[in-house]
Amino acid sequence: MSSEIKIGLAQINVVVGAIEANVDRIIDYAERARDEQECQLLVCAEMVLTGYPPEDLLMRPGFHTRVEQQLERLCQGVSGIDLIVGYPKIIDGNMFNIGALISNGRVVHEYKKIELPNYAVFDEKRYFSAGKEACVFDYKGIRLGLTVCEDIWHDGPVEQAVEGGAELVININGSPYHADKISERRDVVCVRAKKVNTPVLYVNQIGGQDELVFDGASFVCDENGKVVHQMASFIEALSAVTVTKQSDALSIQGTENVPEYQPLESIYKALVLGVRDYVKKNGFAGVVIGLSGGIDSALTATIAADALGPDNVDVIMMPFRYTSDISKEDAFLEAQALGVKYHVISIEPMYEAFVKQLAPVFEGYEEDVTEENIQARCRGLTLMAYSNKTGRMVLTTGNKSEMSVGYATLYGDMVGGYNAIKDVPKVLVYELAKYRNTISPVIPERVITREPSAELRPDQIDSDSLPAYEILDPILELYVEQDMPPAKIVEMGYPAEDVSKVIRLVDRNEYKRRQAAPGVRITKKAFGRDRRYPITSGYRPKIDW
């Protein structure tokens, strides 16, 4: 006796909270899977009806009413193909993260997610109760076990499904990206499949959601932990696998084997997708960027042009008396290479007006960083005025190194609605710029090779105020991302003076970061959803034991 089913894998870019539109997209994918791929079953991602993560939308009763209504519409709107989808559901006063099988116009099986992640960007225990039981059912002669995302990272749920007779484990996901996450995730799943001697079909969400990027990269591995079907990352996609059971032997035939991107390419694509979806899903007409002639704004403008198209990106060079001719020339050359609209607006007159008006209350004070900040705030005001008038959102340009130590001006260069490189350390900014130039040379070489400077005073360079980025970035990674004690960082060979200074700057600038624009997350611990420290705090780490 033999059985054969063709299963579709759907990486759908849904919008959190747009339940009706999300159901429309699911129906469209189901029809395509049925008509183009001849599938009997289509598997979608975790919480695909609502998008993931819906956060405190889950607290609204009306939200659940609409989920129920649209789930019924989905059941009635699809024929000739069955679906596995995810959604939230309140049962007896408790809310669950559900994976469900829809067949013949109704929900026939519902699985309650057992393992609820509550770390890093996840806080599912705030909303959901944990399920306890496996969900295993016969589907056209093959026993399927249904699990949801975190379930596969822990001992228990998958084993429970296999013990219940599952011959194929289906795992639906809302697994966000960070550098190296795709290979890490695939290794975990393949080890699990080999351990239980059962193939796993893994479907992941795609798209940007505020700070998070979901990379897709759905795949299938066999009972030996070998990947037999690998979909692309960072793009919407539909593909299919054929599952055949002959006697007691199960085999899976995949149709795709998309190679994994190299690390820099993967990070760059995540940044592009994050910017594209934030701008488009929030309905902006495009973006405007202050283009300084430096590396950060150059990379930001390039990401924006790749994400949105040059016609949807405007840049403004805002020179002052300290702006070098090199910076002016490089900004123009990059704008020309990208094909974006280029404006020049001097901040000299507005700066002079501010200083003149402030002169009476500044009498008796020496010039200091205040005047530098006025320059930055003139630029911020200019960008926001342009944004208000044109409907183009300001993309701010501060990198993770600067955000860490507060090397930025509130209401100045921190002004903006979104930050493409907020989670990108400075050294990585340079690497990404070099990588992007291998595709087409849009960032002038001089921007990459010259000493970085804010150009807020004569002959200023970043290293006047900060350790060299080759020293700063590793210290920041150890302290911010790995929570390593200062003494341990010094033991690793970093100068105690630098470590002490960097940690002091990180801790005292929490108030700035709390007011910073959201930005794309590409590391394991980004500022924002990942790292939550009090602004008002008397705790100071010690450099010694």
DSSP E strands in 412-464: the ranges are 418-419
The CA–CA distances, whole Å, from 248 to 136, 170, 242, 452 equal: 17, 19, 16, 65
How is residue 439 written in tokens?
């595709």
Cα 492 vs. chain centroid, distance in angstroms? 31
**Catalytic residue (one of 39, 44, 75, 149):** 149
Clarify whether 46 is annotated catalytic.
Answer: yes
**Catalytic residue (one of 6, 39, 44, 46):** 46
Q: Which amino acid is at 74?
A: L
What span, in angstroms and rounded, lies between the C-alpha atoms of 372 and 309? 34
Nearest to 431 by CA among 419, 443, 422: 443
Clarify whether 371 is annotated catalytic.
Answer: no
Clarify whether 113 is annotated catalytic.
Answer: yes
The CA–CA distances, whole Å, from 337 to 158, 290, 380, 440, 442 equal: 52, 16, 25, 9, 5
What span, in angstroms and rounded, lies between the C-alpha atoms of 88 and 69? 13
Nearest to 176 by CA among 145, 133, 209, 198: 209
What span, in angstroms and rounded, lies between the C-alpha atoms of 441 and 461? 26
Q: Which residues pair with 486 in a beta bridge?
A: none
Backbone angles phi, psi at 457, to 5 degrees: -155, 165
How is residue 510 written in tokens?
């929490």
| CA angle (316 as vertex; 320, 331 as ends), nearest 5 | 75
How is residue 529 written in tokens?
């959803």
**Catalytic residue (one of 113, 245, 422, 525):** 113
Instruction: Render the burial of 385-394: b for 16+ CB within 10 Å, e for the rest.
Output: ebbeeeebbb
Nearest to 237 by CA among 263, 255, 210: 255
Give me the active site residues, please: 46, 113, 149
